């Protein structure tokens, strides 16, 4: 028994071991991010040294064979399809989490949660295929051609909604029971409790879900490639076809060479910058929530 006890790590030793493992994992993650960024920068450097950044927003169009490298229409396409999907998915996801957590009977809540989890596990290509054969023809009946910014927004809304909903529900579940009991003791109605007590208490988790959903939307490739039409233009309406930066990389990387290939890596750098800005904003808001 004494020998067995000696073999068991003390709590302090276990904590130290866990701390070093976490430090190692964090270091590996940081190195991977740095290596990916360095690789993108090295591949994009030839055309950046030759043309500079300005050509990517001032050229007449995107025709790499003719020496035109304007990425602005595709950047607008990526931003608009992401913004539209986030604006739709956020209230839907938070509303479904509120329903599941506070209004639905237990049986219905479990079934509803299972369906949301199922949506989260569907591959993006399946969403894209469904959108191509079902959603695009429906939009085409309103205004041709059907493949459009609106189709991309609708598909991405379905794709990021489970992420926002499940994160929101987990955040609501972590709200201390004392908050709800105190509100009940004061005679506050259920909706007033949710809007004035639960949501403010869970705002950090809600914002995390929003950031995760936005990150998935801005980086999505296959689904938007299949339903957005892949026309390089700045959309003037929801029914205009668009091409996103991710779709452009997927479509052209297989045959791109020289400056054309380097320009695609510039697209990757732009996406990395967008994600970095998103993370920085999230960290700033998180710190304000902690210390504000």
Say if residues 228 and 148 touch (Cβ distance below 8 Å).
Answer: yes
Distance CA 89, CA 108 (A): 21
**75, 97, 93: which is closest to 170 by C-alpha?**
97
Q: Which helix (H) or strand (E) holds 62?
A: strand 62-63
Strand segments (E) across 33-94: 62-63, 68-69
- Is the alpha carbon torsion for 61, 248, 216, 33 positive or negative? negative
Give this prediction's pTM: 0.84
What mean pLDDT, rounded, does the chain reach? 86
Distance CA 101, CA 55 (A): 51
pLDDT in tens, 114-154: 888 888 888 889 999 999 999 999 999 988 888 899 999 99
Least confident of 44-48, 104-108, 123-127, 275-279: 275-279
Least confident of 59-73, 173-187, 193-207, 277-291: 277-291
pLDDT of residue 135: 92
Q: Which domains does the chain have, with CATH numbers?
A: 72-291 (1.10.3720.10)
Q: How far is Cα of residue 105 from the mean position of the Cα atoms in its chain?
A: 31
pLDDT in tens, 22-74: 889 989 988 998 998 899 899 988 888 888 888 888 888 898 888 888 999 99
Distance CA 95, CA 92 (A): 5
pLDDT in tens, 72-92: 999 999 999 999 999 999 999
pLDDT of residue 131: 92
Mean pLDDT of 192-220: 86
Is residue 8's pLDDT more than 60?
no
pLDDT confidence band for 204 (50 / 70 / 90):
confident
pLDDT confidence band for 188 (50 / 70 / 90):
confident
Mean pLDDT of 230-254: 90
């Amino acid at each position: 028994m004494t020998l067995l006890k000696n073999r068991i790590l003390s709590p302090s030793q276990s904590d130290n071991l866990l701390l070093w493992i976490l430090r190692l994992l964090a270091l590996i993650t940081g190195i991977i991010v740095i290596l990916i960024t360095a690789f993108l920068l090295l591949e994009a450097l030839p055309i950046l040294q030759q043309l500079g950044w300005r050509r990517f927003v001032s050229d007449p169009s995107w025709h790499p064979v003719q020496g035109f490298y304007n990425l602005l229409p595709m950047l607008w396409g990526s931003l608009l399809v992401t913004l539209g999907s986030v604006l739709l998915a956020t209230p839907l996801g938070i509303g479904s989490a509120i329903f599941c957590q506070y209004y639905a009977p237990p049986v219905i809540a479990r079934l509803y949660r299972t369906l949301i989890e199922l949506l989260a596990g569907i591959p993006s290509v399946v969403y894209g295929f469904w959108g191509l054969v079902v959603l695009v023809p429906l939009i085409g009946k309103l205004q041709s051609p059907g493949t459009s910014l609106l189709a991309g927004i609708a598909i991405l809304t379905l794709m990021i909604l489970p992420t926002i909903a499940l994160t929101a529900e987990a955040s609501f579940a972590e709200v201390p029971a004392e908050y709800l009991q105190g509100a009940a003791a004061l005679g506050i109605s259920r909706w007033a409790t949710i809007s004035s007590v639960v949501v403010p208490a869970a705002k950090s988790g809600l914002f995390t879900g929003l950031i995760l959903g936005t990150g998935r939307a801005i980086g999505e490739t296959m689904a938007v490639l299949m339903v957005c039409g892949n026309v390089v233009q700045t959309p003037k309406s929801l029914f205009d076809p668009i091409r996103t930066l991710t779709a452009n990389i997927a479509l052209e990387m297989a045959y791109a060479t020289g400056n054309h290939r380097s320009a695609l890596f510039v697209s990757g750098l732009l996406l990395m910058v967008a994600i970095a800005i998103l993370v920085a904003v999230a960290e700033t808001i998180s710190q304000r929530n902690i210390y504000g």
